[in-house]
């Protein structure tokens, strides 16, 4: 990971948790290509670094597990040290950690999913929210999922954690709106990532069925999610808060059909 030590203190930084791989890495690279300085937070930052655009803004990194109660304070302290101000937060870090029927799911596995996905999102939002309040506001984007909008097989930990994130997004938006802090969420559907490709290769998921079930007739792309996140972070969405934007090709529009 490239680390730039010199950075104007008034430019601000956007924190992206779970930014070391997958959709998180795509969000990091997309924001950098738009000239937004980024602090990448992940349990393990790739030693080879991310595929950073050649002409990009400064990027910093810190290795932390968002489920650690002390992680959020450390991340905020690092963000303020390198940039002086936090202008955005993308709570992307999350795990599924579940590939067994709910009747056989160990409670420790269930709790771990809630700790990373929900507690991590709240802890990061709380710590960053305090910093944003002092600076006059900012924008937070939480990563939900279509699994939080309806029931999915073998997702009795992941789905509830994402449903709770959707509700948390609304609660924080209402409470923090007067402070100038906007809080929204993005709910991706099936997005082409290495993890999805592995599930398809293992025949846990059937690509043809997923495409057929999606009204727009294709799987999502990482850039589809980035575009939504970028919009919700930007001034173009300045009158939007408390919203969960489904990026799923119409999948959730059929959940109750």
Choosing from 60, 122, 158, 176, the catalytic residue is 158
Residue 92: CB partners within 8 Å, gap ≥ 6? 16, 17, 18, 19, 23, 24, 27, 143
Any catalytic annotation for residue 204?
no
d(CA 80, CA 15): 11
- Tokens, residue 244: 């969960």
CB-count exposure of residue 51 (10 Å: 0-12, 13-18, 19+): exposed
The angle that helices 158-176 and 107-114 make with each other, rounded to 10 degrees, is: 30
Matching residue, tokens 């408390």: 242
Computed from CA positions of residues 69, 65, 7, 232, in that sequence, does the dihedral angle turn out positive or negative? negative
Instruction: Count CA within 13 A, CB hemisphere, residue 79.
Output: 29
- Could you give the C-alpha distances from 216 to 146, 166, 188, 191, 206, in angstroms and in order? 15, 24, 14, 13, 17
By residue count, the chain amounts to 257
Closest by CA to 14, choosing from 31, 30, 29, 33, is 31
Residues tagged active-site: 158
């Amino acid at each position: 990971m490239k680390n730039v030590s010199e950075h104007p203190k008034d430019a601000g930084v956007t924190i992206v948790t779970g930014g070391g791989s997958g959709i998180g890495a795509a969000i990091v690279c997309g924001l950098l290509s738009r000239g937004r300085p980024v602090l990448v937070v992940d349990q393990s930052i790739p030693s080879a670094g991310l595929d950073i655009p050649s002409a990009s803004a400064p990027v910093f990194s810190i290795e932390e597990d968002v489920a650690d109660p002390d992680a959020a304070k450390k991340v905020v302290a690092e963000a303020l040290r390198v940039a002086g101000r936090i202008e955005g937060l993308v709570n992307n870090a999350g795990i599924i950690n579940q590939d067994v029927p709910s009747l056989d799911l160990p409670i420790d596995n269930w709790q771990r999913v809630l700790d990373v996905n929900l507690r991590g999102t709240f802890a990061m939002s709380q710590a960053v929210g305090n910093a944003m309040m002092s600076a006059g506001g900012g924008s937070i984007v939480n990563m939900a999922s279509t699994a939080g909008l309806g029931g999915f097989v073998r997702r009795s930990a992941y789905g509830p954690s994402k449903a709770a994130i959707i509700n948390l997004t609304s609660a924080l938006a209402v409470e923090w709106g007067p402070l100038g802090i906007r809080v929204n969420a993005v709910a991706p559907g099936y997005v082409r990532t290495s993890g999805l490709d592995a599930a398809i290769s293992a025949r846990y998921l059937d690509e043809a069925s997923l495409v057929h079930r999606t009204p727009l007739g294709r799987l999502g792309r990482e850039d589809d999610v980035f575009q939504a996140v970028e919009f919700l972070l930007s001034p173009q969405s300045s009158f939007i808060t408390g919203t969960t934007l489904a990026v799923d090709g119409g999948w959730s529009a059929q959940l109750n059909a």
